[in-house]
Structure 1
Amino acid sequence: MRMKGIQKTNWTGFLLFMTLVIIFPLVISKSFYLTQATFAGIYLIVAVGLGLLMGYAGQISLGQAAFYGVGAYTTAVLTTTLGWSPWIGLIFAIAIPAVLAFIMGYTMSRLSGYYLAMATLAFGIIVHSVLVEWRGVTKGASGFYGIPSIELFGYSITQGVSYFYFVWFFALLVIIISLNIVHSRVGRALRSIHDSEIASSSMGVNTGKYKMQIFILSAMFAGLAGWLFAHMSYSISPTSFTLDASILFLVMVVLGGSGSVWGAVIGTVLIKVISIVVHSLGESFTFITSDFEHVIFGLILMLVIIFLPRGLFVASSDFVKSRVLSNKKNKSKPEIKVAERA
């Protein structure tokens, strides 16, 4: 019964969030904010996958930007160099990161915690170096240009309202998939692994299998986001897939809270709002530059880790629950006293 209540609350929140997404372009028509909201949807896809990996499988990854970049460059090469359809590019943009994640998961199956984080960091550095040095395929540091737009039923989906809804369709689909996983038997197994891998193994849970599956799924989400990013920007370069991008995804998850799918969603939205505010202040104050944004993100990460280690969403949820319980207790006290007198 308790699980059903949790699912009902989450789906109510999902419907509310979906409504906000649908009406956003109707309320905010300025192209800059619409573009930033579209990027928020792309980043959200990566952050939700990373949130599942960290909050449920208990694995820290600093290589999500690498999977993100592999997805983007895969579709860029297939559609621009080979002339294939972007929809075929989507299949490979998801499949190739999944294969790489399987290879990584298989070779690094004995690693966990900070050791796994360092391994994924090394993987990200390797991928970035390949993107820069493999000029014959990736065009090197100068970037890849001329990526075609996506066509659906004869209609070209370009930047603006159409691409906003296109991106958020996939973002909402990722949230639905993630919520279903969390509230399934797999999700319960993942939570047990996060709490104690040794205890889970002793109870017969195949910890290696579940961690591998979530690692692959998070890579597939990142590849999907890369596909969306490439066909939105029409040009990509290795600078978009550096360690800074991986840290940004990590900040999103930690800020919102890795213990919930909604934590990654809230963290992504807040980071994009902060980025917009910093950009607006930069137009008025010359000392506020792009590097200042990194300082803000670092400060946020430090403060959240110290004061709200479970993230904003989880902390606020716990606060609301405690308030509701205290109100129920206060209401029940007079009734108990009357019963005692009787």
Structure 2
Amino acid sequence: MAVQRKGVKKLNWIGFIIFLLIVLILPWLGLNSFLMTQATFAGIYAIIAVGLGMLMGYAGQISLGQAAFYGVGAYTTAVVSKTFGLSPWIGLIFAILLPALVAFIVGHTMARLSGYYLAMATLAFGIIVSVLIVEWRSVTSGASGFYGIPTIQLFGTMIKQGLPYYYFVWFFTVITVLISLNIVHSRIGRALRSIHDSEIAANSMGVNTGKYKMQIFIFSAMLAGLAGWLFAHMSYSISPGSFGLDASILFLTMVVLGGATSVWGALIGTILITAINIFVHFLGNNVSFITSDFEHVMNGLILVLVIMFMPKGLFPSLVNVFRKKTPHLVKESTT
């Protein structure tokens, strides 16, 4: 088993290096401004998807409220940096800590829920946050949107949209992936996997399931808040529509498509959904009956097909196929 764990860690490091090289090289492949913006958004969404994947695939908790934490992070930094005139870097601290505090409160409230009941509860939480954003006009500017969010400065240099912000976002994405991989292969990760397999069995083995589920729920909320911070200072303006149920379903689709039981699965799912949405956008420019709503149809169809034919997700399914075709590698890794 020790050899197996070393082999898995080695493969993860190889995958991480390949992933890092792709991130560095991609902007130099002739991307126009639209594709560069979409690649930047993919990095923001990947941060949320990785956190949601950890929550679903390792803690076994279904959440339909990640967009709410995303919105809390975005509006928090908007208020801190625009209304109070503080540095966006101070906004980052609040954009991470406030979703964590909300997750702590919500997590204790929903501590006894699981499965579909938890999904419905998080859905209700997301709706409450959406309504609060719209109705609390004195703070959030309501449905008209929050404008004039300042640009982030690093060592006196403004980080503007385009290549600088692409690398800025993906720097945080890479750090997120690295931290998540370390969590997965730590004692906490082993405890989370035991909870996902059987919470009753994990409890009988002395695993504090409530503690670990709460920790990973807060962790996923903090990542969503970080993504909200990046989004707010990239767009310079935010509106409630970006943080509604559609966004939560989009993040869920990314995780389910790639595979919730793998950090890489959430990342791959994000990239694939982004690529599909780009394809639909270009298709809409050439086909009259294709509208922006077609993206929702595609995402819903993908979600249904994956659940029917690849319930574990794309990445775990491909890994299983690879293992069947190379049994000698599996044998070596388990000796």
Give the TM interval when normalised to the shorter protein. Answer: over 0.9
Deviation for aligned residue 1:328: 8.8
Q: Secondary structure at the match of 1:33?
A: helix
Alignment partner, residue 234 of structure 1: 236
2:212 corresponds to which of 205, 210, 213: 210
Larger C-alpha radius of gyration, 1 or 2? 1
Alpha-carbon distance in 2 for matches of 1:176, 1:83: 33
Alpha-carbon distance in 1 for matches of 2:109, 2:126: 16
List 4+ stretches of structure 1 deviating above 6 A.
Answer: 326-329
Alpha-carbon distance in 2 for matches of 1:183, 1:36: 31
1:245 corresponds to which of 244, 247, 250: 247
> Are 1:125 and 2:127 matched, yes or no?
yes
Alpha-carbon distance in 1 for matches of 2:41, 2:330: 42
1:47 corresponds to which of 46, 49, 53: 49
Alignment partner, residue 167 of structure 2: 165
Mapping for residues 95-114 of structure 1, pairs under 5 Å = 95-114=97-116
1:138 corresponds to which of 130, 140, 151: 140
Q: Deviations over 1:15-66 (max 9, x none)?
A: 0011000011111331111000000000000000000000000000000000
Change (3 A) 1:135 1:48: same
Change (3 A) 1:199 1:283: same
Change (3 A) 1:210 1:321: same
1:37 corresponds to which of 39, 44, 48: 39
Change (3 A) 1:327 1:203: closer
Question: What letter is aligned with 1:122?
Answer: A
Q: Percent identity?
A: 70
Alpha-carbon distance in 1 for matches of 2:109, 2:139: 27
Alpha-carbon distance in 2 for matches of 1:328, 1:186: 25
Alpha-carbon distance in 1 for matches of 2:327, 2:207: 34
2:302 corresponds to which of 300, 303, 315: 300
Q: Secondary structure at the match of 2:280?
A: helix
Q: Answer whether contact 1:28 1:34 (CA < 8 A) is retained.
A: no
Alpha-carbon distance in 1 for matches of 2:126, 2:31: 37
Q: Deviations over 1:257-307 (max 9, x none)?
A: 001000000000000000000000111001111111111111111010000
Using the size of structure 1 for normalisation, the TM-score is 0.95
> Are 1:94 and 2:110 matched, yes or no?
no
Alpha-carbon distance in 2 for matches of 1:86, 1:292: 35
- 5+ residue gaps in structure 1? 330-342
Change (3 A) 1:282 1:319: same
1:179 corresponds to which of 165, 174, 181: 181
Q: Secondary structure at the match of 1:290?
A: coil
Q: Answer whether contact 1:143 1:236 (CA < 8 A) is retained.
A: yes
Q: Secondary structure at the match of 2:113?
A: coil
Change (3 A) 1:22 1:327: closer
Deviation for aligned residue 1:326: 6.8
Q: Secondary structure at the match of 1:246?
A: helix
Question: What letter is aligned with 1:181?
Answer: I
CA-atom RMSD in angstroms: 1.0
